A = this chain, B = another copy of it.
Amino acid sequence: MDQHNHQSTTSGAVATAKPLHCIVKLGGAAITYKNELETINGDNLNIVSSQLRQAMILGPCHGMDWSRRPGSSEIPTVADDFDEQLQLKSKKFVVVHGAGSFGHFQASKSGVHKGGLNKSLVKSGFVATRISVTSLNLEIVRALAKEGIPSIGMSPFSCGWSTCQRNLSTADISTVVKALDTGFIPVLHGDAVLDSSQGCTILSGDVIIRHLAEQLRPDYVVFLTDVLGVYDRPPTEPDATLLQEIAVSEDGSWSVLKPQLQDVSKQVEITVAAHDTTGGMVTKISEAAMIAKLGIDVYIVKAATDHSMRALKGQLRQNIPDDWLGTVIRLAK
């Protein structure tokens, strides 16, 4: 059935009316408190929303969340100074967020990533995971809308995306493209999806971003996280060094350009240290390298800082100022 689907495969770029400007990943660790079940980091989310608005919207805008808060009797206020002629002008962004402390508990409790929908526990966990991640999605859409960003929540499951052997197999982006072309900002998220070989699995936000980058070729991609960037070892360790610039070659291998490493053994050490961690760093670099290989610059930067503001605005594309802290991953020249 899937092979007849329009734009259903992972190959080939799709032509849009105007090219996509940027894909932003809101890392789970940046917008939630990772160790507190289903708790949003509201301060960070508000700053991130404000920075996104400044990067996206040209000219005036109004709040677009006109809903009551649960438990509050307050009627939402709607601006009454809407100019009939006013057209909202926004750059084309796609936002993808991780799950952080949402979804993880439900998914790991039931083993959704391992599949087996015929088991009642897995089926229940699938439902519970989707409830958790879609509730986070709704809160992020609301935060962005409150700021004046025309955000539209779109769940990969509802978009009909699915996997085969845990790799993305059906992922029609035509609805994302239509939303972009009509001036909306799609907000996608890591989700529980159907898998044609094992029944179901978890589709991560990073895989979604790679697929969208391949298909829509944005000018650049920004990963907002809770540390300054990618380090040579877990950033909590003493002597951890921020890797400021990583070059990716055509064959997918990568090397650190900045800071300049003393000798070759140090470079090897990094690779080993990376493998020694729980996979966080190496996975992050690998996913980013796949995007950089396409010629798309990737910035990994701490959310809600001046550094993230500059990355989101695209100010790093010509040159990286010396006082900017973060990790740039790009194609070797």
Contacts and interface: CB of A to CB of B under 8 A. Distances in A.
Nearest to A83: B120
A28 interface: no
Contact of A62 (B6, B120, B154): B120
A157 interface: yes
Contacts of A200: 182
Interface residues of A, number: 70
A322 B105 CA distance: 51
Interface stretch (A170-178, A259-267, A283-291, A305-313): A170-178
Nearest to A124: B64
A111 B297 CA distance: 41
Contacts of A118: 87
- The copy count of this chain in the complex is 2
Interface in A119-164: 119-121, 123-128, 130-132, 134-135, 138, 141-142, 145, 150-155, 157-160, 162
Contacts of A121: 82, 84, 86
Contacts of A71: 70-71
A160 B174 contact: yes
A66 interface: yes
Contacts of A128: 64-67, 78, 145
Interface string A172-193: 1011001100111000000000
A180 to B, nearest CB: 12
Given A145-B127, A158-B175, A160-B175, A119 B78 contact: no
A78 B109 contact: yes
Contacts of A62: 120, 124
A128 to B, nearest CB: 4
Contacts of A178: 160, 162, 194
A206 to B, nearest CB: 20
Contact of A130 (B63, B153, B160, B183): B153
Contact of A75 (B37, B75, B160): B37
B160 A172 contact: yes
